[in-house]
Structure 1
C-alpha cells in the first residue's frame, strides 16, 4: 500500500507536462505564464516541507499519510470548478493544494517504507518503491495525452471565430481535464479509505516533540557539503522540471510532431531513459565514486543541452532523451553526498535539501523568460545548461573527499 503512493504521486507529477501545453492554448498564455504550473507545484514543497515533518512527529506516519491523501483528493476535485469557471488562477490553486498533499506523502512515505521489514533490506524496499515512481513517469504522459489533449480547433480555426465563439471553444477544451482528475480523486479516496482501516506498524519519530531548536538550521548550514547540496539540488530540480515540463512544446517546435506523438516520446523516450539510467547508474557506482560519476553525467547533460538549443528533428529529440538518462542519478547522489557524515545535523540537513526543490518553481520561469525574449523555445535550454554546470561544480567539490564513497552509502541515505 505504501508503494501505491509512490506510483500515484509520480503519475500526477508527470501529468504537468500535459497540462502546460493544454492550458497554454486554452488561456492563450506565453511560455513564461505557462511555467506558473510548475511554480504552483514546487512552491508547495518549500512551504510544506517543515510542517509535514512536524505533522509526522506529532500525529504519526499513518495520520500524516491520511492528511496528505486528503489534500491530494481535494486538489484533484478542485479541477472541476476550475474548468467550469475557466479561470487559470483556479487551476494553479488546485495544483498547489495537490502538491501540498504530495509533500506530506513524500515526507512520510520515503522514510517509513524503510521501516517495513528487516533493516538490511531497507535499501531494496526503497528502490522497489522508487521503480514504481519511474513507471508512473513513463505511463502518465502517454495516458494523460489521450485523456486531456483532445482534438480541438486549430489556431487558424480559432482566429476565424468570433470572440464569444472562441471563448466557448477554449472553455470546452479546458473542460477535458475534469474526467481524468475526477478519476484520480476517486482513486485517492479509495486508497485513503484502505489506509484508514489498515493497521500500520508503529514507528519511532511520532513523539509529539516540538520543532527543532532554532539554531539547528544554522548549524546544519555551517557544513560546506550541506550548503553546496542545497544549492545543487535547487538547480537540479529546476533543470529536471524544465526538461520534462516543456518537452511537448519543445518537441512540437523542434521536431515538428503532434502533441500526442510528443507525449509518447516523453513517456517511452524520456521516462524510460530516466528509469534505465537510474538502474545503470546504480550499477556503475560499484566501480566509480558517486561524485565522479555525477560530474561526468552533469557535463554530458550540459553538452546535450547545448545540442538541444540548436538541433532539429530527430537529433533534437535524441538530445533531450539523453539528458533524461543522465539526469537520473542526480537527485539521490546530491542528496547522499550532501548529508554524508553529517552526524547530528543529518535530519535538518535532509529537510533543507528537500526544501531546495523549490528550484522547480523558479528555474522554469527563467526557461520561459528566455524563450519569450528570444522568440525561440529551444533557446530556453540555456537554463538547464546553467543548472547542469552548477551540478558539475558541486560534484567537482565533492569528488576529492568522496573518492572512496561506495554506492551503498549513496543509495541508503537517499529519501527520494
Structure 2
C-alpha cells in the first residue's frame, strides 16, 4: 500500500508566466487552507460557550480537524493516483464545501458531535490538497531554496490566518459578554439552552457562504489553465521497499520534529483565545491574529534571508531556540503586566495584551520557519523513496490533534498557563533536530 501521494517529477519550465500562474493558483489554495485552518482558533472558545464545554472537550475541535491528516493520508494518495493533481484539488474543494454545509445542521441542533464531524470532513478535503501541493512546491526549483518557496506559500496561508479571526470576531462575537460563563450561570436551564442556541445560529450564514465560495473556487480551478503534473509511478517500488523509508533516520526524526512542531503551532494559535478569555482580555476573539501576524513576519524573513544569508538548517536552529525562550516567557511571565506588548505594539495604537499572551503570540515568529525548513532537510537523499517520505511527513500533522488535546487535559488538571510547559520539550526536539538530528543518515 502506498504511504503517500507520489512525488511529481520535476517539469521543465515552459515559461516564466507558466510558473508564476501555477504559483498563483497554488497560493490561492494555500490561502483557502489557511482560512479554514485558522478559523479553529476562534471556533474553540465559541463552541466552548455554545456547547457548554470544558477546555479538554473544547480542544476536541483541533483533534477532529488534524487527525484527518493521518487517517485520510493514504486514501488521499489512492484518490490522487486515479484523478491526477488538478482533479484531486477540485475534489478536495468539493469535500470541503460539504464539510462547511454540515455546520448548518450542527448549528441548528448545537450537537457537538456534528460540529466535530463537519470539521473532520473539512480537513479530509484539505488532506487531499496538502499531500499534493507541498511536494509540488519543493520540486519547482533547487532544493536549497525550497524553504524560500514554501515561505512564499506560507504568506498566503498565514495571511488568511490574520484575516479570519478579525472576520469571525466581527460576525460571531458581538456582545459576547451576554453569553459568558458567569452570565449563563445565572439563568434557568431552559433559558440558558435558548441563549446558546441563539448564539449557535450565528454560524449558519457564514458557513453557508463559505460552502458557496468553496464550490465556486472548485469550478474555477477545474476550468483553469493550471498545468497538470504527471504522477511518478515506479512499478518496481513494491510495498516492502516502501517501508524502506524507515531506514532514513533524518526522515523519521524529521517526522517526529514535525509532529512536535504542528502540535505547538496549533497550541499557540488555537488556545490563545481561550487563555485571553480566562485573563479577561476584551478582544480575545481576535488574538489568533496576533500569532498569525508574527508568523507572517517570520515567513517574510525566510523569503528574504533564505538561502542568501541564512541556511535552512540555521533557520530551524534559530526557530527552536526562539521557541524555548518564548515558552519560558509564557509560563513564567506576568499575566497582568503588558510591557512587552506596549514596547512592540504601542506605536500601532493596538490595545496592549498581557506579557504572557504576547509571548504566546510571538511563538508564531518562532514557528514560521520550522515547516519550510524541516521538509527539505528530512527529504534530502531519499531518492525514489521521496514520495513515501512525503507522506510520512504529512501524517506527522497528527501532532496538531494529539498535543493540543493533551494540553487541554493538563489545563483542566492544573491551569491554562502552567499547561504551556508542555511545549518546552517539543521545541527542545526541534532545536536538537536542527543541530544534529537532520545530519544522522542511518540508524546505528
After TM superposition, the score normalised by the length of structure 1 is: 0.88
Gaps of 5+ in 2: 1-24, 339-354
Aligned-pair distance for 1:210?
A: 8.0
| Equivalent-residue separation in structure 2 for 1:116 and 1:300 (angstroms) | 30
Match status 1:297 vs 2:319: yes
Matching of residues 36-185 of structure 1 within 5 Å: 36-112=60-136, 127-151=151-175, 152-185=178-211
| Equivalent-residue separation in structure 2 for 1:284 and 1:69 (angstroms) | 32
Aligned residue number for residue 286 of structure 1: 308
Mean CA deviation greater in 169-178 or 305-314:
305-314
| 1:369–1:125 distance in 2 versus 1, CA, 3 Å | closer
| 1:127–1:399 distance in 2 versus 1, CA, 3 Å | closer
| Equivalent-residue separation in structure 1 for 2:161 and 2:137 (angstroms) | 20
Aligned residue number for residue 406 of structure 1: none
Q: Deviations over 1:185-230 (max 9, x none)?
A: 01011111222333443321176x8895222442101111011011
Matching of residues 329-344 of structure 1 within 5 Å: 329-344=369-384
Aligned-pair distance for 1:400?
A: 5.6
> Relative CO higher for 1 or 2, CA cutoff 8 Å, sep ≥ 6?
2
Q: Deviations over 1:57-115 (max 9, x none)?
A: 22111221121011100000000001111100000000000000011122233445678
Mean CA deviation greater in 193-202 or 85-94:
193-202
Aligned residue number for residue 224 of structure 1: 249
Q: Deviations over 1:230-249 (max 9, x none)?
A: 11111110111111110111
- 1:231 touches 1:356 (CA, 8 Å); kept in 2? yes
Match status 1:35 vs 2:72: no
Aligned-pair distance for 1:119?
A: 12
| Equivalent-residue separation in structure 2 for 1:295 and 1:122 (angstroms) | 17
- 1:285 touches 1:293 (CA, 8 Å); kept in 2? no
| Equivalent-residue separation in structure 1 for 2:263 and 2:147 (angstroms) | 27
Aligned residue number for residue 193 of structure 1: 219
| 1:111–1:396 distance in 2 versus 1, CA, 3 Å | closer
Mean CA deviation greater in 154-163 or 380-389:
154-163
Secondary structure of the residue that 2:417 maps to in structure 1? helix
| Equivalent-residue separation in structure 2 for 1:61 and 1:211 (angstroms) | 22
- 2:273 touches 2:286 (CA, 8 Å); kept in 1? no
Number of positions where the alignment pairs a residue of Structure 1 with one of Structure 2: 396
- 1:244 pairs with one of 269, 284, 289: 269
| Equivalent-residue separation in structure 2 for 1:11 and 1:336 (angstroms) | 25
Secondary structure of the residue that 2:436 maps to in structure 1? helix
Match status 1:389 vs 2:428: yes
| 1:302–1:48 distance in 2 versus 1, CA, 3 Å | same
| Equivalent-residue separation in structure 1 for 2:136 and 2:125 (angstroms) | 16
| 1:24–1:352 distance in 2 versus 1, CA, 3 Å | same
Aligned-pair distance for 1:125?
A: 6.5
Mean CA deviation greater in 119-128 or 2-11:
119-128
Aligned-pair distance for 1:380?
A: 1.6
Kindly report the root-mean-square deviation, in angstroms, between the aligned alpha carbons of the 2 structures: 2.6
Aligned residue number for residue 412 of structure 1: none
| 1:205–1:284 distance in 2 versus 1, CA, 3 Å | closer
Q: Deviations over 1:154-204 (max 9, x none)?
A: 333312211111111111112211111111101011111222333443321
Matching of residues 236-275 of structure 1 within 5 Å: 236-254=261-279, 256-258=280-282, 261-267=283-289, 269-275=290-296
| Equivalent-residue separation in structure 2 for 1:377 and 1:95 (angstroms) | 24
Aligned residue number for residue 364 of structure 1: 404
After TM superposition, the score normalised by the length of structure 2 is: 0.83
| Equivalent-residue separation in structure 1 for 2:152 and 2:439 (angstroms) | 31
- 1:367 touches 1:380 (CA, 8 Å); kept in 2? yes
